Amino acid sequence: MGQFELTVGDIITICGTFSFAVSGAFAAMQKRLDVFGVLIIAFATSVGGGTLRDILLGDVPVFWLKNANYSLLILVTAIVAMIFWKKIKSLKITLFLFDSLGLGFFTVVGLQKGLAYDLSPGICVALGTVTGCFGGITRDILLNNIPLIFRKEIYATACIIGGLVYLLLSYLNVDATIVKVVSVSVVFLIRIIAVKYKLTLPRIY
């Protein structure tokens, strides 16, 4: 992010950081936290997945310690979110949309990083899923909400399908940028469709 030329990967990371910061800020405002609490939750939501990814891989100091731009982006995003709070009609839908976007972006970021570490494909999908889901899990645990991931609609499954699409398209030699855009969209759309049509996975009992 410190460079003047951004790669597609950088842009996806920035979009994911922004999306999860928005979802964290709105979730914190719903719980009536003070100004600083909103900043903390926006930060934890936004960096949570990538931090766990870097720790699991051993790529330390973790990304936001090495590059202050992430913290700056989250700070600005949270402040803007607080200012525009009242202009937004449905907080619930806004929160849901940004959570789903962040999920898609970070799934792809995590998966790519796994590939860069030469991990086996299945493990890369798992790492992408962990990266995508952990920010939201952190947000929900800190706010004492039931984690979205354990509510009834399809959630982590969207990351897995998105990750498999990524691997399939890469295997078919599709252009790298298209692979990324399609994979993010797949995760995002599965979430939208799952919530809209209340799609659920079967239970065992």
What residues line the site for a second copy (CB under 8 A)?
29, 32-38, 40, 51, 55-58, 60-62, 64-66, 68, 71, 82, 85, 114, 117, 119-120, 122-123, 126-127, 141-142, 144, 146-147, 149-150, 152, 154, 156-157, 200-205
Residue 8 or residue 82: which is nearer to a second copy going by CB? 82
DSSP calls for 98-145: HHHHHHHHHHHHHHHHHHHTT--HHHHHHHHHHHHHHHHHHHHHHTTP
Give min distance, CB of 91 to a second copy, in A.
Answer: 10
What radius of gyration do the chain's Cα atoms show? 16
Distance (Å, rounded) from C-alpha 46 to C-alpha 16?
8
Give min distance, CB of 146 to a second copy, in A.
Answer: 7
- What are the structure tokens assigned to 132, written together? 């995508």
Distance (Å, rounded) from C-alpha 5 to C-alpha 3?
5
Residue 25 or residue 101: which is nearer to a second copy going by CB? 25
Residue 36 or residue 197: which is nearer to a second copy going by CB? 36
Give min distance, CB of 31 to a second copy, in A.
Answer: 9
Give min distance, CB of 181 to a second copy, in A.
Answer: 25
CA distances for 64 relative to 1, 71, 199, angstroms: 11, 7, 36
Give min distance, CB of 96 to a second copy, in A.
Answer: 19
Distance (Å, rounded) from C-alpha 133 to C-alpha 77?
20
Residue 65 or residue 174: which is nearer to a second copy going by CB? 65
Residue 90 or residue 144: which is nearer to a second copy going by CB? 144
Owner of token pair 């494909």? 121
